[in-house]
Amino acid sequence: MFIPFALAASLAFSLASGADTQDHRPPPAPDFNAERDPFELDWTSPASGVWIGVRPQSARLPVTGTSVIVAGETGVLVFDGGGTRLQAERVADKVRAETGLPVTHIAISHWHGDHHLGISALREAWPEAQVVSHSFTRDVMGSTLMDSARNPEAAEPGAFRSQLDAALANPDLAAPARLWLEQALPWADLIEAQGRTARIPEIDTGFDDSMEIDLGERVVRLIHLGPGNTKGDIMLHIPDARIIAAGDAVVHPTPYGFFSYPADWAAALTRLRAFDVDLIVPGHGDAMSDWAYVDLLIETLQSIADQTAALVAEGHDLDGVRDHFDWSALEPRFTGGDPFWANRFDVWFKRPILDAAWRLETGLDNEELIPHEHGVD
């Protein structure tokens, strides 16, 4: 189930010493006894004028992207203002409480809706704010790729709860998937109500490589390091704070493989690796202060590209690629052998990324841009 809610890098490596040899340790299985609604964020301020809002337990349903606020002397940039209106309203409250400054820029890391479908709340609060993204992301907004978010109020009332009930009624549903769906039941009405507020944003400015934004005594840079999770991934670099927010090019602990570009993604993360920063902010999951997980991603994505190319060259179709692909050196380092994380890794990464890799290897486009008006309803 895909939920629609689915360069001038310094050469020095300055992250925690020993990062090169330290291996990534997978997290314990999540405890879903969450008292707070799934749109609440935990805020930290790792540097002056920077606030990072992370939804605790990143694997909770619905997936919810991290929001980053960065303030200069005259204005505020919000990077990924919220996949739902409620999240964006909370981001707006945080901006008001901490800065007293206007939001001048709203940047969108990539086109997946959990990063932007709520930002109408920010635009209404600060109508002068410029919405900025990669030019590909801007073009996606008018394409059939966004069609699932185009008529959020058309769904039958109660449809989300019915979907959950129907999935849970399946006796063959794996226990970890059951756990994942059950934790959403108390919040089903709120999740559905938030889904109805989704609005596809209008993007004022698209760029291809990078864009500098002056917030007053603080210049930040939005950068595209190449295709990865999508064709239009951008990251937020805050040089004076030594922070980079990576969007969904880095998602912890389970990356999302849908429609992605494994070889290009590995190359983009290798470029990220050269940035002189102290903190990497994933698009989902806690911020990290060493490169161990990024290194694991690079190794994994390169292996996916290499193994898929070799298997396709041997004449395998997609099922054959799935059957012969060797995950043994990679998967345990993401899941720790935990059944819940193994299930998420299968659903969110292994299946979609082998599909994506196979499509690329056989000459298909993972994100074909078809204008909405030419799509099939």
Contacts with Zn ion by CB under 5 A lie at: 65, 112, 114, 248, 283
Nearer residue to Zn ion within complex by CB, 256 or 325: 256
CB of 182 to Zn ion, least distance (A): 22
342 three-class SS: helix
CB of 283 to Zn ion, least distance (A): 5
CB of 309 to Zn ion, least distance (A): 27
Q: Is 114 left (phi over 0), alpha (psi -120 to 50) or beta?
A: alpha
Please state, in angstroms and as integers, the Cα–Cα distance from residue 33 to each residue in 46, 61, 171, 190, 231, following that order: 27, 13, 23, 17, 36
Other Cβ atoms less than 10 A from the Cβ of 346: the count is: 18
Please state, in angstroms and as integers, the Cα–Cα distance from residue 253 to each residue in 221, 288, 326, following that order: 26, 11, 20
- β-pair partners for 281: 245
Nearer residue to Zn ion within complex by CB, 283 or 352: 283
Nearer residue to Zn ion within complex by CB, 49 or 283: 283
CB of 85 to Zn ion, least distance (A): 17
d(CA 14, CA 244): 13
Nearer residue to Zn ion within complex by CB, 64 or 308: 64
Nearer residue to Zn ion within complex by CB, 301 or 321: 301
CB of 14 to Zn ion, least distance (A): 27
CB of 11 to Zn ion, least distance (A): 30
219 three-class SS: strand
Other Cβ atoms less than 10 A from the Cβ of 152: the count is: 19
Nearer residue to Zn ion within complex by CB, 62 or 75: 62
Q: DSSP per residue over 267-336, as a string?
A: HHHHHHTTS--SEEEEEES--BSSSHHHHHHHHHHHHHHHHHHHHHHTT--HHHHHHH---TTTHHHHHT
CB 192 within 8 A of CB 156: no
253 residue type, one letter: P
264 alpha carbon, distance to own chain's centre: 17
Nearer residue to Zn ion within complex by CB, 65 or 72: 65
CB of 200 to Zn ion, least distance (A): 16
Nearer residue to Zn ion within complex by CB, 176 or 255: 255
CB of 65 to Zn ion, least distance (A): 4
CB 32 within 8 A of CB 60: yes
Task: Please give the structure tokens belonging to residue 127.
Answer: 């109508």
d(CA 313, CA 72): 52
Nearer residue to Zn ion within complex by CB, 75 or 283: 283
Q: Give the sheet arrangement for strand 210-214, strand by strand.
A: 210-214, 219-223, 235-238, 243-251, 279-284
End-to-end Cα separation, the chain, in angstroms: 20
Nearer residue to Zn ion within complex by CB, 176 or 283: 283
CB of 70 to Zn ion, least distance (A): 19
CB of 235 to Zn ion, least distance (A): 14
d(CA 367, CA 347): 19
